[in-house]
Structure 1
Amino acid sequence: MNWNFPYCPDAPNWTIDWQAIEGEFAWLRSLADCPQDPQYHAEGNVLIHTKLVCEALIELPQWRALNPTERSVLFAAALLHDVAKPATTQTDTDGAISSKGHVLQGAKMAQQILWDLQVPFREREAIVALVKYGSLPLWFWDKPNPEKSVIKTSQIIRCDMLSLLAEADVTGRHCSDQAQLYERIAFFREFCQENRCFDRPRAFPSDHSRFLYFQKENGNPDYLAYDDTRLEVVMMSGLPGAGKDTWVQANLPHWPVIALDELRKTMRIAPDEDQSAVVNTAKALAKEYMRTEKSFVWNATNISRQLRCSLIRQFANYQAKIRIVYLEAPWEELLTRNSKRIAKLPENVLYKMKGRLEVPNITEAQAVDWVVN
């Protein structure tokens, strides 16, 4: 089903109803109270900048040529790209204004805002990715490995859409280095085209080749890696109540399951107590399965990318092929399911977990399934 942001401009008028948008979204109105350093944003506060960015975006012929859903995704990203600046902006003693960390925090805020708006999963995550990687076209060449940066990003969000957002962002600011910023975006477009990842994800010879490329520092994206995997680990991921246990029972009923919830019950350790003993027991079981080349399910919330990557490295050392299965249900459904559980979580704890959620992406494993209700 195609999704359209209700306030996204459309033909033939291509105009933005700012009164309606500001009237609905308090987070947008709050941008008016957030100043910016005039050296980089002489146009004024963050709301002024955001409006200029949106106006610049809808004037781009490349944006108007996109389908309605793609236009909506980019327009929503332009609205949200600086949403965290009020929470991160500081004024130094010398009068300089900065907002360090606003990009990553903005991506998290955008995910929560869009979840509450019930934006479909695929479009929500595309908007979040645009907010998170929106400045890449301006700074990709400063990365330790620019090639890997753009190839990795292309697996998550289209680089041509990133370049459109970046172009609108530069047009919507008054600064002395605007011409140089446009040059960087043009270079980004050329570089992505050279690496065959401008309007689509960079293709790899195999899923295993892709996995190894992102696990190593200086890999070759065209190298066909020999698949030496000996077993498979299915890693479940999702908030409590998302349906992980049900999915395992329906799809892998005969596989051994390492379930952290079950270990807690057996070991009589509450979720809010020290979990080191539970985790160590789970890892010991996993090692035993892997030594005997037996595939298994690792069933836990696994909502943190850092935690997933740590486990995946350990599994890969035993030549395991990793498949992540991420499950998601509507927030109200999660609350209902949680209330019926014997070991239910306090609602504020569940909400905090939702705020920490990092949805898995295809760069983390040989396969990722997104099962969204």
Structure 2
Amino acid sequence: MRKPIKHTVTHENLLDLVPSGPVWRVDWGEIWSLWPELAVLDTCPQDPIHHAEGDVGTHTRMVVESLVSDPDWKGLPDMDRANLFWAAVLHDVGKPAVTKHEDGGRISSRGHSRVGASIARELLWYAGSPFAWREALCGIIAHHQLPFWLIERPDPPRMAIETSWRCRPDHLCLHAKADALGRICQDQRTILESVSLAALTFQEAGCWDHPFTFANDESRVAYFELDDRDPQYAAHEAFPCTVTVMSGLPGAGKDTWISKHRPEHPVVSLDLIRGELGVAATDNQGQVIQAAHERAREHLRAGRDFAWNATNVTRQNRSRVLRLLRDYGACIEIVYLEPSPGQLRRQNRDRPDAVPDAVIDHLARKLEPPQVWEAHSLLVVS
């Protein structure tokens, strides 16, 4: 169980600590004191074959110093430079949670990219970092190993196109180069060659410094759900209805948003169904989900616009709802609400059905904000 996040770090602190010219000096004393999640990296071991330099803290500092010495990084706009700097600082913050000693003296950290993105998201949420800036950084962390093995996959161009909607490829490869240089290993040259080939793959796919351009929203959504989809195919868009799928932690203001912006829509609300059925939020939710899906089907069969109101804060939970809506050919808009931690807790306390802060903390650690490739449109309210 991770300890609660420190609330004293601000986004302004983070920007102030980004090195600048002409010295480009990294203030490791200040940076390493920000969060205990960084200090613990100094005691986290790594596999000596891939990381002969030693612990994760040593590797992290080497990666950051490599990045800061790169002329390509120095030439970025200020906010992009800050984004990549903190991505490098936090890129392996997930390793302590997943590191294992294997047979034969090997050490593994499988899953650390995904876990690290989740930890970074929580740290930066409490720091008040802007949503888009934070998610761009978390995208880099979640996929930071991809340039090492992209060209070995069965369909590198397809993976390049998908990745371009999850993080910015040119920034991803810039980080990967620093990650390769910031280690001691026998295959460093091979890793750097793989990063160069990954960069070429992104460039040839037409998505080097921006998301791949699809013909329309339906073409994008279909591409992400159909393995054999041609990225150039222009899908026909004729939707029988539009469904507004709400997403946000308890107390984020989903009910208020619907009443203000979609007052004419019928609402499929999991909270209301739980109340009708007498099912507590901590009970098995199978009956509630079944009832919600049946009510949604009634609207979908009638071609009626409606709103689906639930937390939907993990991709797995959203995918079940989105699959149902896709089966009926609906146009899907996701509305994601993310107030600051303090405002969220105040709004939650003011609700008649307030949930304990511990529940919010638990959900916040699992949070996976929706991304635009999941639906035809995404509105973020933060």
Between stretches 135-144 and 319-328, larger displacement belongs to 135-144
* Alignment partner of 1:323 out of 314, 333, 341: 333
What is the alpha-carbon distance in structure 1 between the residues aligned to residue 117 and residue 165 of structure 2?
17
- 8 Å CA contact 1:83–1:109 kept in 2: the answer is yes
Alpha-carbon deviation of 1:93?
Answer: 3.6
Residue type at the aligned position of 2:104: D
Residue 314 of structure 2 is aligned to residue 304 of structure 1: yes
For the 8 Å contact 2:251–2:354, the answer to whether it is kept is no
**1:165 alignment counterpart:** 175
Q: Alignment partner for residue 362 of structure 1, among 326, 349, 372?
A: 372
1:19 aligns with 2:29: yes
1:344 to 332, 354, 371: 354
User: Match for 1:123: what amino acid?
Assistant: W
Residues 3 and 361 of structure 1, relative CA distance in 2, 3 Å threshold: farther
CA distance in structure 2 between the partners assigned to 1:182 and 1:291 by the alignment = 53
Amino acid at match of 1:322: I
For the pair 1:229 / 2:239, whether they are aligned, the reply is yes
Question: 1:271 is matched by which residue type in structure 2?
Answer: A
CA RMSD of aligned residues (A): 1.5
Q: What residue is the counterpart of 2:213 in the other structure?
A: 203
Do structure 1's residue 71 and structure 2's residue 81 form an aligned pair? yes
**Secondary structure of residue in 2 paired with 1:127:** helix
Pairwise CA distance, 1:4: 6.0
Residue 104 (structure 1) aligned with residue 114 (structure 2): yes
What aligned pairs does 1:216-295 form with structure 2 within 5 A after superposition? 216-295=226-305
Alpha-carbon deviations, 1:139-166, whole Å to 9, x = none? 1123343222211111121100000000
**Aligned amino acid, residue 185 of structure 1:** V
One-letter code aligned to 2:156: P
Which residue type is aligned with residue 179 of structure 2? Answer: D
Alignment match, 1:48: 58
- 1: CA distance, partners of 2:343 / 2:12: 23
Q: Deviation digits for residues 245-281 of structure 1, max 9, x if unmatched? A: 1111111111111111111122222111122221111
Report if aligned partners of 2:270, 2:292 keep a CA contact under 8 Å in 1. yes
SS at match of 2:33: helix
How far apart are 1:92 and its partner, in Å? 2.2
2: distance between equivalents of 1:293 and 1:92? 55
* Cα pair distance change 1:2/1:370, threshold 3 Å: farther
User: What percentage of aligned pairs have identical amino acids?
Assistant: 39
Unmatched runs of 5 consecutive residues or more in structure 1: none
SS of the residue 2:49 aligns to: coil
TM (normalized to structure 1)? 0.97
For residue 66 of structure 2, give the secondary structure of its aligned residue in structure 1: helix
Q: Deviations over 1:181-213 (max 9, x none)?
A: 111111111111111101011101111111111
Shift of 1:24: 2.6
Matching of residue 180 in structure 1 with residue 190 in structure 2: yes
Distance (Å, rounded) in 2 between the aligned partners of 1:122 and 1:2: 16
- C-alpha deviation, 1:321, in angstroms: 0.8
Matches within 5 A, 1:83-102: 83-102=93-112
Task: Report the residue type matching 1:92 in the other structure.
Answer: E
**Structure 1 Cα separation of the partners of residues 13 and 43 of structure 2:** 31
Q: Secondary structure at the match of 2:334?
A: strand
**Does the 8 Å CA contact 1:5/1:76 hold for their aligned counterparts?**
no
Q: Distance in 2 between the 1:285 and 1:15 partners?
A: 59
Separation (CA, whole Å) in 1 of partners of 2:178 and 2:148: 12
In 2, the alpha carbon distance for the partners of 1:352 and 1:161 equals 31
1:10 corresponding residue in structure 2: 20
Distance 2:79 2:337 in 1: 23
In the alignment, structure 2 segments of 5+ residues that lack a partner are 1-10
Q: Does residue 1:58 correspond to 2:57, yes or no?
A: no
Shift of 1:173: 0.6
Q: Distance in 2 between matches of 1:318 and 1:175?
A: 52
SS across alignment from 2:105: coil
Paired residue for 1:155?
165
Q: Quote the Cα distance in structure 2 between the aligned partners of 1:3 and 1:248.
A: 36
Q: Structure 1 residues 3 and 315 mapped into 2: Cα distance closer, same or farther (>3 Å)?
A: farther
Which string of whole-angstrom CA distances, capped at 9 and with x for unpartnered residues, describes residues 55-114 of structure 1? 000111111111111011100010011112122212224211111221111111111111
2:253/2:347 contact within 8 Å kept:
no
Shift of 1:37: 1.5
For 1:192 and 1:265, locate their aligned partners in 2 and report how far apart those are by CA, in whole Å: 50
Amino acid at match of 2:15: F
